[in-house]
């Protein structure tokens, strides 16, 4: 029994080896080094039997990619052959973006392009697979050329277009609003047009030139923000106002109040815009009609051009509060003013102190001012359907610090004579409030501290 078993095993082993010896005649990737083109073509499909041809691991005769013959090649070798032929195109073919004398040059590789060698060779290898030897040989008689895809990189093209837009895009002026005094209404105006690279069109132009490269004149278009007259038409009434009186016989001071008040009349502030009083009216110089009058510098009252404009800014500030606008910047005086409750004044000095506020609404607002000798008023015009409640403002005194008197010896004066250099002002702490008269809600506007100013008196001690 043992001898019979050995005999059976010997016969089976012989049969197995015999079968393997027939298969080993068929060329395959493992039996040859296909990293070398010459090695890959070291045999011809012409020498194969029909059975061997059907089982061949190489691309069949008659198959080309973009006109390059890759038959009789292992697919991976075919990839290398195609790369050797086409890869340099990615560097040699360039697209020149032009604007006037400016030229920006990018190769196809810079633009992120690549060839899909893998897809093309896989498609080539599949041709004839699973077919009979007769059908495979027909491919040779009727050659097939596979078109290799040039693959785009949208991300890279978008990145380069973004850099081009950064260079050539020019922002246009925003639409703005003006007050038409003749018709008593706000008019929306278009800002200056800007320039923009037409990205969608540029992408199409790149695609049209991607095969061979070439010149592209940058498509740059005018852009302009559409003015919003519908928002301007919402201005229908007063949303906050304030008034103030002064001595009309102090002519120089009264003239400064008139000039500054009338300068602000008709100023329009768009939705979300910020308004600076100093930026709007400028410096209080004589060429604008400002006169020399008393101004406060520190703890002293001295002559200066524009004395009195602080009463203008204070009146406007109080109207702004009642219109429920957002105050960005406000400076109090260094002492209490007779024309304003404590904590509700606003001083301005060009380059030093300003009144700045913001329009928080989605519609434009207009500053309307009125002047007559001894009287001024400001109203903020807007949409009374949106700001449909009244705001009142008031303040309370929280603390005071009595002023003292400081005597300065001056022997140039007669005995007992006195000269007041600085008038005394008590220090004080005020807290200002605003109240929504519809809801009854009270909010703190802020605290203001007026420093104590001691009297300074010259005297022959």
Give the pLDDT band (50/70/90) at residue 39. Answer: very low
Give the pLDDT band (50/70/90) at residue 377. Answer: very high
Report yes or no: 148 and 189 within 8 Å, Cβ to Cβ. no
Sign of the CA dihedral 190, 195, 196, 202?
Answer: positive
Are 64 and 119 found together in one domain? yes
Give the pLDDT band (50/70/90) at residue 53. Answer: low
Helices (H) and strands (E) in the chain, counts: 13, 27
Whether the pLDDT of residue 299 is over 80: the answer is no
Give the pLDDT band (50/70/90) at residue 420. Answer: confident
Q: How far is CA 99 from CA 194, 208, 297, in A?
A: 16, 18, 57
Whether the pLDDT of residue 22 is over 80: the answer is no
**348, part of any domain:** yes
Mean pLDDT value across residues 431-438: 97
Are 208 and 246 found together in one domain? no
Mean pLDDT value across residues 196-203: 95
**102, part of any domain:** no
Express each pLDDT in 82-141 by its tens digit: 999 999 999 999 999 999 999 999 999 999 999 999 999 999 999 888 888 888 888 888
**d(C-alpha 73, C-alpha 84), whole Å:** 15
Give the pLDDT band (50/70/90) at residue 54. Answer: low
Q: Give the mean pLDDT of the chain.
A: 87
Q: Which of 192, 226, 260 is the last residue of a domain?
A: 226
**3, part of any domain:** no
Mean pLDDT value across residues 230-256: 96
Express each pLDDT in 332-341 by its tens digit: 998 899 999 9
Quote the pTM value.
0.66
Name the 3-class secondary structure at 100.
coil
Are 253 and 372 found together in one domain? yes
Are 43 and 185 found together in one domain? no
**18, part of any domain:** no
pLDDT given for residue 300 in this prediction: 63
End-to-end CA separation in angstroms for the chain: 149
pLDDT given for residue 37 in this prediction: 41
Are 67 and 166 found together in one domain? no
pLDDT given for residue 328 in this prediction: 98
pLDDT given for residue 24 in this prediction: 34
Domain that holds residue 51: 24-96+109-151
103 burial via Cβ count (<10 Å: 0-12, 13-18, 19+): exposed
Question: CA-CA-CA-CA torsion for 381, 386, 390, 395, nearest 10 degrees?
Answer: -80
**8, part of any domain:** no
**d(C-alpha 300, C-alpha 313), whole Å:** 20
Are 204 and 327 found together in one domain? no
**d(C-alpha 398, C-alpha 63), whole Å:** 97
**d(C-alpha 381, C-alpha 104), whole Å:** 52
Give the pairing of strands 405-409 and 455-459. parallel
Contacts of 115 (CB under 8 A, 6+ apart): 82, 83, 86, 87, 90, 148, 149, 150, 151
**16, part of any domain:** no
Are 71 and 180 found together in one domain? no
Domain total for the chain? 3
DSSP character at residue 47: G
Tell me the CB-side half-sphere exposure of residue 432, using CA atoms within 13 A: 20
Q: Which of 191, 226, 261 is the last residue of a domain?
A: 226
pLDDT given for residue 31 in this prediction: 38
Place of tokens 């404590």: 342
Are 346 and 369 found together in one domain? yes
Are 291 and 428 found together in one domain? yes
Q: Which of 193, 226, 259 is the last residue of a domain?
A: 226
The shares of helix, strand and coil residues in the chain, as percent rounded to the nearest 5, are: 30, 30, 40
Are 186 and 298 found together in one domain? no
Place of tokens 């027939």: 22
pLDDT given for residue 175 in this prediction: 84
pLDDT given for residue 35 in this prediction: 41
Whether the pLDDT of residue 156 is over 80: the answer is yes
**d(C-alpha 302, C-alpha 300), whole Å:** 6
Backbone torsions φ then ψ of 240, nearest 5 degrees = 180, 140
Express each pLDDT in 244-258 by its tens digit: 999 999 999 999 999
**d(C-alpha 448, C-alpha 395), whole Å:** 10
**17, part of any domain:** no
**d(C-alpha 410, C-alpha 422), whole Å:** 15
Are 312 and 266 found together in one domain? yes
Are 306 and 417 found together in one domain? yes
């Amino acid at each position: 029994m043992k001898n019979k078993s050995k005999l059976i095993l010997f016969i089976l082993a012989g049969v197995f080896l015999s079968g393997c010896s027939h298969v080993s005649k068929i060329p395959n990737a493992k039996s040859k080094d296909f990293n070398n083109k010459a090695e890959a073509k070291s045999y011809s499909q012409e020498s194969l039997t029909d059975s061997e041809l059907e089982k061949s691991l190489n691309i069949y005769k008659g198959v080309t990619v973009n006109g390059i013959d890759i038959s009789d090649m292992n697919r991976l070798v075919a990839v290398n052959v195609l790369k050797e032929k086409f890869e340099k195109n990615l560097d040699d073919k360039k697209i020149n973006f032009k604007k006037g004398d400016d030229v920006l040059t990018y190769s196809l590789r810079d633009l992120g392009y690549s060839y899909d060698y893998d897809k093309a060779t896989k498609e080539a290898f599949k041709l004839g697979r699973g077919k009979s030897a007769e059908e495979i040989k027909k491919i040779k008689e009727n050659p097939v050329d596979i078109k290799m895809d040039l693959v785009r990189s949208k991300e890279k093209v978008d990145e380069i277009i973004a850099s081009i837009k950064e260079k050539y895009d020019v922002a246009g002026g925003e639409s703005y609003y003006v007050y038409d005094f003749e018709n008593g209404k706000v008019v929306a105006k278009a800002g200056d047009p800007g320039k923009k690279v037409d990205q969608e069109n540029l992408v199409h132009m790149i695609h049209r030139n991607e095969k061979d490269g070439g010149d592209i004149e940058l498509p740059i278009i005018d852009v302009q923000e559409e003015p919003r007259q519908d928002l301007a038409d919402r201005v229908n009434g007063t949303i906050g106002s304030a008034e103030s009186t002064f001595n009309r016989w102090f002519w120089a001071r009264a003239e400064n109040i008139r000039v500054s008040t009338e300068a602000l009349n008709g100023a329009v502030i768009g939705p979300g815009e910020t308004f600076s009083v100093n930026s709007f009216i400028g410096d209080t110089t004589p060429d604008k009609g400002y006169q020399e009058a008393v101004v406060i510098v520190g703890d002293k009252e001295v002559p200066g051009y524009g004395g009195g404009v602080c009463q203008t800014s204070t009146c406007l500030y109080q109207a702004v509060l009642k219109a429920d606008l957002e105050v960005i910047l406000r400076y109090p005086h260094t002492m209490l003013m007779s024309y304003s409750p404590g904590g509700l004044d606003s001083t301005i000095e060009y380059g030093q102190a300003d009144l700045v506020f913001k329009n928080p609404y989605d519609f434009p607002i207009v500053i309307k001012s009125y002047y007559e000798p001894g009287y001024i008023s400001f109203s903020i015009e807007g949409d009374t359907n949106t700001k449909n409640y009244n705001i009142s403002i008031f303040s309370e005194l929280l603390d005071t610090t009595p002023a003292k008197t400081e005597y300065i010896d001056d022997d140039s004066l007669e005995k007992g004579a006195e000269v007041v250099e600085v008038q005394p002002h008590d220090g004080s702490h005020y807290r200002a409030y605003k109240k929504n008269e519809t809801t009854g809600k009270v909010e703190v506007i802020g605290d203001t501290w007026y420093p104590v100013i001691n009297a300074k008196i010259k005297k022959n001690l």
